[in-house]
Amino acid sequence: MTGDPTPAGTTLFVPPEDSALLSALRSGSATAYREAVRRYGPAMLSVARAIVGEADCEDAVQDAWISAVGAIATFEGRSSVKTWLISITVNKARNRLRAHRAGRDEDTGRAPPFDGRFLPDGHWREPPAQWHEQTPDALLQAEALWDCVDRHLGRLPEAQRLVLTMRDMEGLEQEAIASTLALSLPNVRVMLHRARMRLMEMVDHYEDTGEC
């Protein structure tokens, strides 16, 4: 988080639950480890999966925990514990990815989302049709639709998939995502916009045609 430099000798505010967890982790007790892993593991797994996919995500999360606990003394409280752990997970997952392949997907050559849906004068050529599901919960319960969403999520360029996962699923602030991924804030906004629009387009198509 940005802000005024902390004067020497003062402590940044760490929320009580984070503080208790950090002490417990420093203690080295299996119970503390277990609780921490259960609490933060799902978010870390979600992010790791967005980078390395299903096959390697568990190992990436394990790498991240080992690194985090080893480095616990260096946690300065400049971000939440969750953000810090996610940051470590991103690094470890990317290390695994580098070991397997080089190169990144780029979102080039694809038509912009909703291309062709508008007339030259800017009005809808094909306005949005009514969806079968009207609420988030109803959408979530439509299994076939979510299988389709997951598939399309997997096809997004990594940066877009990661930013969407971190913002919309894990609730991180855009600034925290920017610093975790070493992206500029405008870049995070663009990635988020593209990912969301791509998935909107996909869901809209599915609702209209039943096709994934």
Partner 1 sequence: MLRCKDIPERASAYVERDLGRRERAMFRLHLMLCSHCRRFMRQFRTLLGAFGRKRPPALAEAHVERIVKALREQQREE
Question: Where on the chain is the footprint of partner 1 (CB under 8 A)?
Answer: 28, 30, 33-34, 37-38, 41-43, 45-46, 58, 61-62, 65-66, 69-70, 113-114, 118, 121-124, 127-128, 130-131, 133-137, 139-140, 164, 168-169, 171, 174, 189, 192-193, 196-197, 199-200, 203-204
- Cβ atoms 81, 22 nearer than 8 A: yes
As given in the structure block, the two tokens for residue 177 are 């995502």
Question: Least distance (Å) from partner 1 to the CB of residue 166?
Answer: 11
Question: Least distance (Å) from partner 1 to the CB of residue 4?
Answer: 24
As given in the structure block, the two tokens for residue 28 are 């080295």
- Cβ atoms 113, 203 nearer than 8 A: no
Identify which of residues 137 and 211 has a Cβ nearer to partner 1 in the complex. 137
Question: Least distance (Å) from partner 1 to the CB of residue 71?
Answer: 11
Query: Which distant-in-sequence residues (6+ apart) come within 8 Å of 9 by Cβ?
Result: none
Question: Least distance (Å) from partner 1 to the CB of residue 156?
Answer: 13
Inter-CA distances, 86 with 64, 102, 140, 158, 173, Å: 9, 22, 25, 15, 13
Longest dimension (CA), the chain: 65
